[in-house]
């Protein structure tokens, strides 16, 4: 009787275990049947553990952000901080702001800036003047959609809160959806886009919208510090003035890149790519300079021959990378591996998603060994297939 019970329990245990094993096995099994997909896994020393179409070019989607992060960290260093210069013309009571492409000028930073300007004796501002000359006017990078969603926010040399507005309606009244962000006239004008609830939208493709929102928000924080501010907003080049206040963002470059990789923030990625191009070439950045900088720099460092990057976020379907090239990047990115998000136990990676594109690249971790892997599927697959494959790869290797 005891023997029969043991057999029954064992059979029951195996029957319960079988579906999970089949589920794990089916991920790589399903991948093996894909016709437009590639994979490369290596150990920490670069020895190939698994390879399939590793030298075929694919649309990488947001795994491009690993390249953008590497370019920024390699050029500026992990502790770099974006700087925004403020000039006050006391003869005309004009506050000039020169944009640096800082991707993280959020409300908390603007509050600090207003406080510092008040401490430096600014008591009245008759005009806020914005110098956005670091980037070409009216930039829309390849792959950017036309929606109002935050992920389609266009870049600008001066941008508040990622060029997005976050508002909500309560009892028919529009209020800010963020305690730290004052409601401005431009933000209030968004009320026609929704009837109730909360709305977070980008400022649109018109660069004047971004400028207007930035200036209005800065003015609101200046008023909180007791500074009188008029509603006059102009654009132009900063005249020959001494810097009144130089603001260094409270976040380091590493602290900017970590959320970019975790939340796949297209705005941050494109701001970084444009700022890199402007810094490298010493002239206003545009889409062509971004493409030139990214491709030239990566080719020089990795000696790649066949690849193409159009922009820094991974939105363009003209982008092309190979699994082997992503592995090259990940080997160099090893010293910054802590910036990649944790996707599952022992899987730290950046994902990429477009219609008919599913990618994942990062590290499989067991013990102290970090194994680079790059998975690129350019055909319709279940959304969770990539992470299932990564989990099975980690168990296998």
- What is the rounded radius of gyration, in angstroms, for the C-alpha atoms of the chain? 25
The tally of domains found in the chain comes to 2
Nearest residue to 352 (alpha-carbon basis) of 261, 255, 272, 291: 261
Tens of pLDDT, residue by residue over 284-335, are 999 999 999 999 999 999 999 999 999 999 999 999 999 999 999 999 999 9
Cβ-proximal residues to 252 (8 Å cutoff; 6+ apart), any chain: 78, 79, 80, 81
- Domain span at residue 110 reads 83-251
Average pLDDT, the chain: 92
The CATH number of the domain where 352 resides is what?
3.40.710.10
Q: Tell me: do 237 and 301 sit in the same domain.
A: no
Domain termination site, one of 251, 270, 301: 251
Strand ranges of the sheet holding 233-235, from the earlier edge strand across to the other edge: 233-235, 127-131, 94-98, 83-89, 245-248
What's the pLDDT band for 93 if we cut at 50, 70, 90?
very high
Domain termination site, one of 228, 251, 274: 251
Query: CA 77, CA 81: separation in Å to the nearest integer?
Result: 9
Nearest 5°: CA angle at 103, between 316 and 116?
A: 170
Share of the chain above pLDDT 70, in %: 93
The CATH number of the domain where 113 resides is what?
3.50.80.20
- The answer to the question of residue 168 being in a domain is yes
Domain termination site, one of 205, 229, 251: 251
Q: Taking a C-beta distance cutoff of 8 angstroms, is the pair 38, 322 a contact? A: yes
Q: Average pLDDT in the 345-363 region?
A: 98
- The answer to the question of residue 5 being in a domain is no
Tens of pLDDT, residue by residue over 65-78, are 999 999 999 999 99
- How many other β-carbons are positioned within 10 Å of the β-carbon of residue 124? 12
Q: What is the pTM of this model?
A: 0.92
CB-side neighbour CA atoms (13 Å) of 351: 19
Q: Tell me: do 67 and 216 sit in the same domain.
A: no
Tokens for 107, please give them. Answer: 């409300």
Q: Tell me: do 87 and 42 sit in the same domain.
A: no
Residue with tokens 């990564």: 390
What's the pLDDT band for 64 if we cut at 50, 70, 90?
very high
């Amino acid at each position: 009787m005891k023997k029969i019970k043991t057999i029954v329990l064992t059979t029951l245990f195996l029957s319960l275990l079988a579906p999970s094993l089949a589920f794990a096995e089916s991920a790589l099994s399903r991948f093996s049947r894909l016709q437009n997909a590639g994979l490369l896994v290596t150990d920490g020393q670069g020895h190939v553990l698994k390879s399939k179409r590793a030298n075929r070019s694919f649309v990488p989607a947001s795994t491009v952000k690993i390249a953008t992060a590497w370019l920024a960290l390699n050029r500026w260093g992990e502790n770099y901080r974006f700087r925004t210069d403020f000039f006050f013309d006391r003869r005309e009571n004009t506050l000039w702001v020169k944009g640096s492409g800082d991707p993280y000028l959020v409300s908390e930073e603007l509050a600090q800036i207003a406080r510092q300007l008040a401490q430096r004796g600014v008591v009245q501002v008759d005009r806020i003047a914005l110098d956005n000359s670091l980037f070409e006017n009216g930039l829309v990078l390849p792959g950017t959609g036309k929606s109002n969603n935050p992920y389609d926010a266009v870049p600008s040399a001066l941008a508040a809160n990622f060029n997005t507005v976050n508002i909500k309606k309560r009892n028919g009244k529009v209020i800010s959806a963020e305690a730290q962000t004052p409601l401005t006239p431009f933000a209030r004008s968004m009320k026609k886009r929704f009837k109730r609830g909360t709305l977070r939208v980008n400022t649109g493709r018109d660069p004047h919208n971004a400028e207007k929102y930035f200036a209005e928000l800065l003015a609101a924080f200046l008023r909180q510090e007791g500074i009188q501010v008029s509603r006059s907003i102009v654009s132009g080049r900063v005249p020959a003035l001494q810097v009144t206040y130089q603001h260094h963002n409270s976040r380091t470059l590493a602290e900017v890149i970590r959320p970019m990789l975790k939340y796949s923030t297209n705005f941050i990625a494109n701001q970084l790519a444009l700022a890199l191009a402007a810094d490298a070439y010493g002239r206003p950045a545009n889409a062509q300079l971004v493409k030139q900088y990214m491709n030239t720099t990566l080719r020089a460092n990795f000696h790649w021959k066949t690849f193409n990057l159009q922009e820094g976020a991974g939105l363009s379907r003209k982008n092309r990378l190979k699994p082997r090239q992503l592995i090259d990047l990940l080997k160099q990115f090893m010293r910054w591996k802590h910036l990649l998000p944790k996707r599952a136990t022992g899987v730290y990676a950046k994902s990429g998603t477009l219609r008919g594109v599913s990618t994942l690249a990062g590290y499989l971790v067991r013990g102290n060994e970090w194994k680079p892997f790059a998975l690129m599927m350019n055909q319709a697959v279940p959304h969770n297939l990539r992470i299932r494959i990564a989990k099975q790869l980690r168990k296998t290797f």
